[in-house]
Amino acid sequence: MLFSRVRGLPVLTPGDADRVGVVRALTVDASSAEVTHVRIRRGRLRKEAVVAWDALGAAGPDMLIARPSGGPAEVPPHRDLVGSRVLTECGEERGTVLDAAFDPVTARIEAILTTRGELPPGRLLGLGDHALVIRTGQGRPG
């Protein structure tokens, strides 16, 4: 599944299918190459909701199903992966992130699509305010 296809999907509750909101963004832990949380826009005047990816009941091409919960115990800071500059650990520019593919069942990132080609998840080191940092070599197997 692509990040670009998830953004804007409705998030519903199971059973009665009440609409919680729409997906605003996905939060990524670059060191583990996983989607950890879903940021949900709940309307113009309501606060953003954050749901841990493992708290979702299902993720499909048309919607996400969120199980009711008290919310995540700890909400990690969010940094947008899509649109981030890509830098090596030596500071060399390697393009910009256009999109990312991930497995909706395991939340594992499968590939990062950049202006300079595809990056395997094993090259990811970290995602900060200014850039996605990658290993210069092939990295660990993704």
* pLDDT one digit per residue (tens) for the chain, 142 residues: 999 999 999 998 887 767 888 999 999 999 899 999 999 988 776 678 888 898 888 888 898 888 766 555 677 788 899 999 999 999 999 999 999 999 999 999 999 999 999 999 999 999 999 999 999 875 454 4
Neighbours of 94 (CB within 10 A): 20
pLDDT of residue 2: 96
Exposed / middle / buried, residue 8 (Cβ in 10 Å: 0-12, 13-18, 19+)? exposed
Every domain of the chain with CATH number 2.30.30.240 lies at 3-66, 84-134
pTM: 0.84
DSSP 73-122: SSPPP---STT-EEEETT--EEEEEEEEEE-TTT-BEEEEEETTEEE-GG
Q: Which two tokens stand for residue 102?
A: 């991930």
Contacts of 128 (CB under 8 A, 6+ apart): 79
Burial class of residue 115 in the structure, from the number of CB atoms within 10 Å of its CB (0-12 exposed, 13-18 middle, 19+ buried) = exposed
Identify the pLDDT of residue 142.
Answer: 44
CATH number for the 3-66 domain, one of 2.30.30.240, 2.60.40.1840, 3.40.50.720, 3.20.20.30?
2.30.30.240
Token pair of 72 as six digits: 């995540």
Q: Which fold has domain 84-134?
A: SH3 type barrels. (2.30.30)
The residue written with tokens 């199971």 in the block is 14
Q: Which of 22, 33, 3 is nearest to 64 (CA)?
A: 22
